[in-house]
């Protein structure tokens, strides 16, 4: 069992803490106990980080593909060696079952190895021109990146935020969530230990609004990468326009799941139930609105309720836990509100609906059905362990319901009709579509949404390209 480490910021390779700085109490969501005090950045810390990031960019933009790839591959190897330690830290500060934290480490390993390959594939192109002249298009790193990562994937989010800029030749200042700092520091440390120059990647923590205003207010920062809620994303996107910073915005979702009469209902349930309660539903691509065709509605609803009741809720470090606590006290409060509002408006509660115990932030795996469209939970991202199961008649109605909301991150469908599968792939308004599957990601696959779910992608070749700009060079 790993001890929780002492906390710091990492600026210019130095561990920065103390010195009268404000602090934030990091809490174990399974017990409510304080794990450690996190130092928060003052303006002078951020100015220093900016100055160093500018230096880091000048160093790293000139690095070779081999150098970038070696760092990413080296960090991947170190994360494999440190898997247990990193996973334990992530579970201690975020609450998810240890098995999920271990997977997160391996997601980073896969991503860093994929990005290492991409370092060699930043191909430009030569345009067709008369013999005596030459025109080329090259890809160059965009510059220092400010990256803000949330707490739901304490290792995976920082891995995405750090990996892409490093593969592209940028420098990066990471502000990961104050609730889960040690995981982010662990990912950064693997990169530094693998030989990344200390100026290239740094980690700060602070009062989020202070940090984002300070960093985005600086012309040194050339790109914003944010994962979090749509509300905060819109605010940050506005700040980024002032200095014309490029943006990758990975925002909220409200995952529709269409289950048709011709679907393999057992398989849909076997995948959807663990998919819903993974990470206590605190996942932007979580399956949330189950849009079920009439003939299989009761079977699907009852199967879901049984699946919810069978979840093993407990400390993420305990054997057999399938669902840990929610990550912070804001989440059970929000879920209580969503459920009360839905029931008030006529929804039926099939399972769960309340907190568990008075220690930590545990919540019962919950199922609401026959939920009216005007319930808040039908319109706002719940980000918690609640499935909404509603009956529908026709394919047209089901697609209309799936596309009703301004969100467009992940959508899922279960049907054995091949023609329908193609119609759905084309008509669902989402950045990622899973058909007879909830696996919608992979290191090589662009991850991102449309509409209010944001723009730009992480992962895939798109993740690296998002940290680059084109330059056209015309020689006479």
**Site of interaction with ligand NAD (CB under 6 A):** 148, 150-152, 177, 208-209, 212, 227-229, 232, 236, 250-252, 284, 330, 381, 383
Please, which residue, 265 or 410, has the CB nearer to ligand NAD?
410
118, 179, 199, 250: the catalytic one is 250
Please, which residue, 180 or 321, has the CB nearer to ligand NAD?
180
Q: What is the Cα–Cα distance from 217 to 239, expressed in whole angstroms?
A: 8
Please count the CA atoms within 13 angstroms of the CA of 250 that sit on its side-chain side: 24
Is 284 annotated as catalytic? Answer: yes
Tokens 């970038």 belong to residue? 68
88, 119, 284, 467: the catalytic one is 284
Please, which residue, 233 or 307, has the CB nearer to ligand NAD?
233
Please, which residue, 228 or 352, has the CB nearer to ligand NAD?
228
Residue length of the chain: 476
In sequence order, what are the residues at sequence separation of 6 or more whose Cβ sits closer than 8 angstroms to the Cβ of residue 424? 258, 399, 413, 415, 433, 435
Q: Least Å distance between CB 18 and ligand NAD?
A: 23
Structure tokens at 88: 């334990």
Q: Least Å distance between CB 330 and ligand NAD?
A: 4
Q: What is the Cα–Cα distance from 103 to 443, expressed in whole angstroms?
A: 13
Q: Least Å distance between CB 182 and ligand NAD?
A: 15
Q: Least Å distance between CB 114 and ligand NAD?
A: 20
Q: Least Å distance between CB 230 and ligand NAD?
A: 7
Please, which residue, 140 or 210, has the CB nearer to ligand NAD?
210
Nearest to 205 by CA among 83, 78, 25: 25
Q: What is the Cα–Cα distance from 127 to 136, expressed in whole angstroms?
A: 6
Is 280 annotated as catalytic? Answer: no
Q: Least Å distance between CB 197 and ligand NAD?
A: 26
Please, which residue, 127 or 340, has the CB nearer to ligand NAD?
340
Q: What is the Cα–Cα distance from 326 to 323, expressed in whole angstroms?
A: 9
Q: Which residues are catalytic?
A: 250, 284
């Amino acid at each position: 069992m790993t001890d929780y480490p002492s906390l710091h910021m990492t600026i210019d390779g130095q561990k920065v803490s103390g010195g009268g700085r404000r602090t934030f109490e990091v809490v174990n969501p399974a017990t409510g106990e304080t794990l450690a005090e996190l130092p928060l950045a003052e303006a002078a810390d951020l100015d220093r980080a900016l100055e160093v990031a500018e230096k880091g960019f000048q160093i790293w933009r000139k690095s070779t593909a081999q150098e970038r790839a070696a760092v990413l591959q080296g960090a991947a190897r170190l994360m494999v060696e440190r898997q247990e330690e990193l996973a334990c830290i992530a579970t201690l500060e975020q609450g998810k079952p240890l098995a999920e934290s271990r997977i997160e480490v391996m997601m980073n390993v896969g991503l860093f190895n994929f990005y290492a390959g991409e370092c060699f594939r930043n191909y430009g192109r030569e345009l067709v021109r008369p013999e005596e002249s030459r025109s080329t298009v090259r890809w160059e790193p965009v510059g220092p990146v400010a990256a803000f990562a949330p707490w739901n994937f304490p290792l995976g989010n920082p891995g995405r935020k750090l990996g892409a800029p490093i593969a592209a030749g940028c420098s990066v200042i990471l502000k990961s969530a104050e609730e889960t700092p040690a995981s982010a520091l662990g990912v950064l440390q693997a990169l530094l230990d693998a030989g990344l120059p200390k100026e290239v990647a740094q980690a700060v923590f602070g009062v989020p609004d202070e940090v984002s205003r300070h960093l985005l207010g600086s012309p040194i920062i050339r790109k914003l990468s944010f994962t979090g809620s749509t509300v905060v994303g819109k605010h940050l996107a506005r700040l980024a326009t002032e200095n014309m910073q490029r943006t990758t915005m990975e925002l909220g979702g409200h995952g529709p799941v269409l289950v048709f009469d011709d679907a393999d209902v057992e398989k849909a349930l076997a995948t959807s139930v663990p998919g819903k309660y993974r990470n206590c539903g605190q996942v932007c691509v979580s399956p949330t609105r189950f849009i079920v065709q009439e003939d299989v509605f009761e079977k699907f609803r009852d199967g879901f309720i049984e699946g919810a009741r069978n979840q093993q809720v407990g400390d993420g470090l305990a054997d057999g836990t399938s669902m840990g606590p929610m990550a912070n006290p804001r989440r059970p409060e929000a879920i209580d509100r969503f459920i009360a509002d839905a029931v008030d408006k006529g929804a039926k509660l099939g399972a769960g609906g309340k907190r568990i115990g008075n220690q930590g932030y545990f919540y019962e795996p919950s199922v609401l059905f026959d939920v009216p469209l005007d319930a808040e939970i039908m319109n706002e991202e719940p980000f918690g362990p609640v499935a909404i199961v509603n009956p529908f008649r026709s394919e047209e109605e089901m697609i209309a319901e799936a596309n009703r909301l301004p969100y467009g991150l992940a959508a899922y469908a279960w049907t054995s009709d091949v023609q329908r599968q193609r119609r759905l792939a084309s008509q669902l308004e989402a950045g990622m579509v899973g058909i007879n599957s909830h696996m919608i990601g992979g290191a090589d696959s662009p991850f991102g949404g449309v509409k209010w779910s944001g723009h730009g992608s992480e992962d895939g070749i798109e993740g690296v390209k998002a940290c680059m700009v084109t330059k056209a060079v015309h020689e006479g």
